[in-house]
């Protein structure tokens, strides 16, 4: 059961809420945010017809606006959440996301849909860091790594199953892609209002306005340049200017952070090998994951001619491996070999799965020989790597930086996902034939393998956040799963 000693100083529960209940509630929130990153992709053709979009250029902002705003606001909202009531911030984020989802479903033109997608992203950026902050406060130190692995597994499965769920829903009506969020969001709101502990903010300084402006504008400009590079042209004045502005803003953020008395992101966070190593791995692995999810869906539909529904079902075996690894294997491997070796093994498995497609797929459909093995290997890679990245980073955070630190890692993940998509679009070009997909998969495999170096060097130096299992009383099934 959750008690004051587990929740931290000054925290009082609304009622007797178990850590497992907190895990389920905050995971529902992160499932909403993660699922919507990819579920909309398969609905775009149907949306274009129904809303008379006139071209994919404007409609692409249904995806891009969400990605840009989400990544840009994560750190600022995380910093606010460390100072103010995190349970209220989480519920506000879920409420905004749920209302915006209903608005998306009711949209009558593309402009209205894009506007509600921006509101969705604002809600997602608010609920993501606060959900992890609530989770870390609910569990005692020895249970936090397992809880974060479970939290990450839920989000990873939701992101990976996005095309599957999207294909099923689009077959009936594209508006269901957004309406599916409403009952889950309402359930999280009701349960959260009744059960989430009151978690007041820490005694930290107000968010630095200059740092907040620099990080929001810098990450926003970087994500904009990345997602629009293929559309506007990488050598176009607009992209060159946007990326140059991002570089100046982010360099200014780094300089300001080192000089400020109250920095938005405290440099001491990166003094921890666990946090630094996890952050670097998150970038490389997320680039690979973003590229992988897009390439396999496009290949099955464009080269093999599969429907969105069939393609979604074809990739399902990979996402199904994520919870199996996260709950049953990853924690044990991390305690036995350390987080660095475990995440390195996951990156190797992921790269091997993508290389499988580069070596085994042809223009002639052969799912068992060409796709299935690679799908399973990438699922194993995600299940081993992402939970370790998030649990290692989160377990290294002081209580005053729970939300800010988790927001930084999630911002890096979202930027990496966008970069992976941009790289894929640039490699595939207009033709998108089998040879182009093979090139994209080899590049994806190489980027994924780049995560091995920081895993075996920086992250491998820190094992303090993985305490040995301690005898504990019998707990509900959800808590047992979280402990891994």
- Domain holding 136: CATH number? 1.20.1250.20
Would 386 be classed as within a structural domain?
yes
Verify that 389 and 400 share a domain, yes or no: yes
Would 7 be classed as within a structural domain?
no
Give the residue from 139, 128, 203, 26 showing the smallest Cα distance to 403: 128
Verify that 215 and 335 share a domain, yes or no: no
Would 348 be classed as within a structural domain?
yes
Q: Per residue of the chain (484 residues), give pLDDT as tens.
A: 444 444 444 444 455 578 888 999 998 888 888 777 667 877 777 888 888 876 555 677 787 788 888 888 888 888 877 777 888 889 999 999 999 999 999 999 989 999 999 999 999 999 988 888 888 888 888 888 888 888 888 877 787 677 778 878 888 888 999 999 999 999 999 999 998 888 776 666 666 788 888 888 888 888 888 878 877 888 899 999 999 999 999 999 888 888 887 777 778 778 888 888 889 999 999 999 988 988 898 899 889 998 877 887 888 898 888 888 888 898 889 889 999 999 999 999 999 999 999 999 999 999 999 999 999 999 999 999 988 888 888 777 777 677 778 888 888 888 888 888 888 877 887 666 899 999 999 999 999 999 999 999 988 765 544 433 333 334 444 444 444 4
Would 2 be classed as within a structural domain?
no
pLDDT at 56: 56
Verify that 290 and 422 share a domain, yes or no: yes
Q: Rounded to an integer, what distance in angstroms lies between the CA atom of residue 89 and that of residue 107?
A: 27
Verify that 218 and 333 share a domain, yes or no: no
Verify that 35 and 23 share a domain, yes or no: yes
Would 114 be classed as within a structural domain?
yes
Verify that 165 and 177 share a domain, yes or no: yes
Q: Rounded to an integer, what distance in angstroms lies between the CA atom of residue 335 and that of residue 257?
A: 35
pLDDT at 245: 94
Query: Which one of 263, 284, 310 terminates a domain?
Result: 263
Q: Which residues pair with 12 in a beta bridge?
A: 198
The total number of structural domains in the chain stands at: 2
pLDDT at 47: 85
Q: Rounded to an integer, what distance in angstroms lies between the CA atom of residue 158 and that of residue 163?
A: 10
Cα distances (angstroms) measured from residue 396 to each of 130, 257, 269, 278: 17, 20, 8, 10
Verify that 348 and 437 share a domain, yes or no: yes
Verify that 425 and 460 share a domain, yes or no: yes
Q: How many C-beta atoms surround the C-beta of residue 305 within 10 A?
A: 10
Verify that 222 and 297 share a domain, yes or no: no
Would 471 be classed as within a structural domain?
no
Please, are residues 342 and 381 in contact by the beta-carbon 8 Å criterion?
Answer: no
Would 56 be classed as within a structural domain?
yes
What pTM value is reported for the model? 0.80
Would 369 be classed as within a structural domain?
yes
Q: How many residues appear in the chain?
A: 484
E strand or H helix that includes residue 472: none
Verify that 283 and 296 share a domain, yes or no: yes
Please, are residues 93 and 29 in contact by the beta-carbon 8 Å criterion?
Answer: yes
Give the residue from 444, 125, 440, 392 showing the smallest Cα distance to 284: 444
pLDDT at 322: 86
If DSSP codes are grouped into helix, strand and coil, which group holds residue 198? strand
Query: Which one of 263, 288, 308 terminates a domain?
Result: 263
Verify that 340 and 457 share a domain, yes or no: yes
pLDDT at 430: 61
pLDDT at 201: 63
Verify that 131 and 248 share a domain, yes or no: no
Question: Nearest 5 degrees, angle CA 59-CA 60-CA 66?
Answer: 110
Q: Which range of residues forms the domain containing residue 235?
A: 208-263
pLDDT at 464: 46
């Amino acid at each position: 059961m959750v008690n004051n000693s587990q929740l931290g100083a000054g925290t009082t529960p609304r009622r007797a809420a178990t850590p497992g209940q907190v895990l389920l509630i905050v995971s529902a929130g992160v499932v909403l945010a993660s699922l919507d990153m990819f579920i909309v992709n398969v609905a775009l053709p149907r949306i274009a017809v129904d809303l008379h979009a006139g071209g994919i250029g404007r409609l692409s902002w249904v995806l891009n606006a969400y990605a840009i705003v989400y990544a840009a606001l994560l750190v600022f909202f995380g910093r606010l959440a460390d100072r103010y009531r995190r349970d209220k911030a989480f519920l506000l984020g879920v409420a905004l996301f749920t209302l915006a989802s209903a608005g998306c479903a009711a949209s009558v033109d593309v402009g209205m849909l894009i506007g509600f997608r921006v509101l969705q992203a604002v809600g997602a950026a608010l609920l993501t860091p606060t959900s992890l902050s609530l989770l870390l406060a609910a569990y005692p130190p020895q249970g936090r790594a397992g809880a974060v692995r479970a939290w990450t597994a839920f989000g990873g499965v939701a992101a990976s199953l996005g095309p599957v769920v999207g294909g099923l829903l689009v077959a009936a009506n594209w508006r269901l892609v957004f309406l599916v969020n409403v009952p889950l969001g309402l359930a999280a709101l009701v349960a959260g209002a009744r059960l989430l502990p009151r978690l007041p903010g820490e005694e930290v300084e107000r968010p630095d306005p200059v740092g907040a402006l620099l990080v929001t504008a810098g990450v926003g400009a970087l994500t904009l340049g990345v997602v629009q590079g293929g559309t506007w042209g990488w050598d176009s004045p607009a992209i060159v200017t946007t990326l140059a502005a991002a570089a100046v803003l982010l360099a200014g953020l780094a300089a300001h952070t080192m000089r400020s008395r109250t920095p938005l992101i405290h440099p001491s966070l990166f003094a921890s090998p666990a946090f630094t190593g996890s952050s670097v791995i998150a970038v490389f692995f997320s680039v690979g994951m973003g590229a992988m999810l897009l390439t396999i869906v496009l290949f099955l539909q464009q080269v093999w001619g599969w429907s969105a529904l069939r393609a979604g079902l074809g990739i399902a075996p990979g996402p199904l491996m994520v919870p199996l690894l996260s709950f049953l294997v990853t924690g044990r491997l991390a305690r036995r070999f350390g987080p660095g070796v475990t995440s390195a093994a996951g990156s190797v498995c992921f790269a091997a799965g993508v290389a499988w497609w580069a070596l085994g797929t042809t223009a002639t459909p052969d799912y068992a020989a060409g796709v299935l093995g690679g799908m399973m290997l990438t699922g194993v890679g995600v299940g081993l790597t992402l939970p370790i990245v998030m649990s290692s980073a989160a377990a290294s955070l002081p209580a005053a930086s729970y939300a800010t630190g988790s927001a930084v890692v999630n911002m890096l993940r979202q930027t990496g996902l966008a970069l992976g998509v941009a790289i894929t679009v640039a490699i595939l070009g207009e033709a998108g034939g089998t040879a182009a997909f093979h090139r994209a998969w080899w590049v994806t495999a190489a980027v994924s393998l780049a995560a091995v170096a920081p895993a075996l060097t920086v992250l491998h130096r820190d094992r303090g956040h993985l305490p040995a299992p301690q005898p504990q009383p019998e707990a509900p099934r959800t808590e047992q799963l979280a402990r891994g």
